[in-house]
Chains A and B, each alone.
Chain A
Amino acid sequence: MRPGVVALVVVLLTAVAPPAQAGHGSKASSGDPDNGIHRMDRHSLTSLGDSAAVRGRDQLNRADDMTATFEGSGDVDIYDADYGNTSWFGRTSCPDGVNWLTGNCDVFKVQFNTRTMTGRSAGDWLSLGCHELGHTAGLGHRAASNDVDDNSCMRSEIWPRSFDGHDIDAINAAV
Chain B
Amino acid sequence: MPDHPERSAEAKERHSFTTLDAMVTTSPVVVRGTVVKVAPGRSAGESDADRIYFRNVTLQPDEVVKGVAASEPVTFEEEGYEADGTGYVVNGLRWSNVGDQGWYFLDRGEDGVLFPISSYGKFVLRGDMRGPTGHDPAHEGPWIGQPIGRPDTVSAHVRQSGARK
Contact = CB atoms under 8 A, between A and B. Distances in A.
Interface string A65-91: 000000000000101011111111111
Given A6-B4, A17-B8, A87 B136 contact: no
A148 B4 CA distance: 38
A84 B113 contact: yes
Interface string A29-66: 11000000000000110000000000000000000000
Given A26-B135, A91-B90, A95-B83, A79 B45 contact: yes
A109 B50 contact: yes
Contacts of B9: 29-30, 91-93
Given A6-B97, A88-B90, A17 B136 contact: yes
Given A29-B10, A95-B82, A131-B12, A77 B49 contact: yes
A69 to B, nearest CB: 20
Interface in A125-164: 128, 131-132, 135, 140-141, 143, 156-157
A146 to B, nearest CB: 10
A81 B46 contact: yes
Contact of B13 (A7, A89, A92): A89
A84 B109 contact: yes
Given A92-B9, A157-B16, A85 B115 contact: yes
Contact of A83 (B3, B52, B82): B52
Interface of B: 3-16, 42, 44-47, 49-50, 52, 79, 82-84, 86, 88-94, 97, 107, 109-111, 113, 115-119, 121, 128-129, 135-136, 138-140
A111 interface: yes
B115 A93 contact: no
B138 A19 contact: yes
Contacts of A141: 10, 135, 140
25 contacts: A1-B4, A13-B5, A13-B6, A19-B139, A20-B139, A26-B135, A28-B10, A29-B10, A29-B91, A30-B10, A79-B49, A82-B44, A84-B42, A84-B44, A84-B111, A86-B115, A87-B15, A87-B117, A87-B119, A88-B90, A92-B9, A93-B9, A141-B10, A143-B140, A157-B16
